[in-house]
Amino acid sequence: MGSKRRRRHIRSKYKNAVSYVISVFVMLCITVSFWGVTIKTGLLNTGIVEKSLVSSGYYEEKAESLTANLKNMFKDSGISEDVSEGIITDRMIVLDTNNYISSTINNEAPEYDTEGLKTSLIEHINSYLASKGVTADDKLAEYVELLSDKAVADYESNIKFPFISYFMESVNNYKGAANMLIIIPIPLLLVCLIVLILMHRMKYRGIRYFGYGVCAASILEIITSLLMKRSFMSIAAGKEGAYFEFVGNYISGAMRQGIYSALAGFMIFGIIIIVTYYCRKKAI
Amino acid sequence: MGHKEQRIFRYIWIPLSIAAIGLVLYFIAGRVFAGNIAAQISYVAVQGEPRNVSSNGIEFSEVSEGNVDEAEIIMPSAGEQYGEIRCDAFSEAVPLYYGDTDDVIGDGTGENPGKGAGQSLLSGLPGQGKTILVGAHDTTYFGQLKDVHAGDSIVLACTYGTFEYTVSKIDIIDGADYTVSDDKEQLVLYTCYPFGEVGKDRTEKIVYICDKVSGPVIGGSEVGQ
The domain limits of chain B are 1-49, 67-218
Q: Name the A residues in 61-120 with CB < 8 Å from any B CB.
A: 62, 65, 69, 72, 76
Q: Whose CA is closest to A85, among A127, A43, A39?
A: A127
Instruction: Give DSSP secondary structure letters for A12-48.
Output: HHHHHHHHHHHHHHHHHHHHHHHHHHHIIIIIT-HHH
Residue range A45-89, pLDDT digits in tens = 999 999 999 999 899 888 888 888 888 888 777 788 888 888 888
Name every residue whose Cβ is closer than 8 Å to that of residue A244 and which is 6 or more positions away in sequence: A236
CA atoms in the 13 A half-sphere facing the CB of A266: 13
The structural domains of chain A, with segments of one domain joined by +, span 18-44+228-284, 58-163
pLDDT above 80 (res A8): no
The residue with greater pLDDT, B43 or A38, is A38
> Mean pLDDT over all residues of chain B?
83
On the question of pLDDT at A1 being above 60, the answer is: no
Nearest Cα residue to B126 out of B159, B88, B79, B172: B159
**Confidence at residue B110, expressed as pLDDT on a 0 to 100 scale:** 61
Residue B42: list chain A partners with CB under 8 A. 235
pLDDT digits (tens, 9 = 90+) for B59-82: 677 778 888 777 767 778 888 888
pLDDT at B220: 58
**B25 pLDDT higher than 90:** yes
Contacts of B33 in chain A (CB under 8 A): 35
CA distance, residue B15 to nearest chain A CA (Å): 5
Query: Which chain B residue lies closest to A75 (C-alpha atoms)?
Result: B57
What is the predicted pLDDT for the residue at B222? 44
Is residue B149 very low, low, confident or very high in pLDDT (cuts 50, 70, 90)? very high
Distance CA B100, CA A244 (A): 26
Q: What's the pLDDT score for residue A154?
A: 80
Q: Is A255 an 8 Å CB contact of chain B? A: no
> pLDDT category, B187, cuts 50, 70, 90?
very high
Q: Can you tell me the mean pLDDT for B191-204?
A: 79
Closest chain B CA to residue A66: B52
The per-residue pLDDT for B57 is: 57
Which pLDDT score, from 0 to 100, does residue B164 have?
94
When mean pLDDT is compared across A224-233, A250-259, B91-100, B164-173, the lowest value belongs to B91-100
The sign one gets for the Cα dihedral A69, A75, A78, A80 is positive
Query: Chain B interface residues facing chain A, Cβ-Cβ under 8 Å?
Result: 10-11, 14-16, 18-19, 21-23, 25-26, 30, 33-34, 37-38, 40-45, 47-50, 52-55, 57, 91-93, 110-111, 143
Strand-pair partners of B211: B166, B186
pLDDT tens figures, A189-209: 999 999 999 988 888 888 999
| Mean pLDDT, range A217-234, rounded to an integer | 92
* Cis peptide, bond prior to residue B194, ω within 30 of zero: yes
Per-residue pLDDT for B35 more than 50?
Answer: yes
The pLDDT of residue A178: 94
* B200 DSSP assignment: S
For B67-218, CATH number? 2.40.260.10
> Which stretch of DSSP H or E encloses residue B166?
strand B162-174
* A23 at interface of B, judged by CB pairs closer than 8 A: yes
* Closest CB from B34, B92, B110 relative to A228: B34
Could you report the per-residue pLDDT of B44-58, keeping only the tens digit for each? 887 788 766 555 556
Global confidence as pTM: 0.71
- Any B CB within 8 A of A273 CB: yes
Q: How far apart are CA A162 and CA B114, in angstroms?
A: 17
Closest chain A C-alpha to B46 CA, distance in angstroms? 8
CA dist B34 and B38 (Å) reads: 6
DSSP state string for B3-72: HHHHHHIIIIIHHHHHHHHHHHHIIIIIHHHHHHHHHHHHHHHHHT-------TTPPPP---SSEE-GGG
Q: For residues A6 and A260, what is the distance between their CA atoms, to the nearest angstrom? A: 46
CB-closest option in A62, A174, A216 to B18: A216
Helix and strand numbers (H, E) in chain B are 4, 10
CA distance A128 to chain B (A): 23
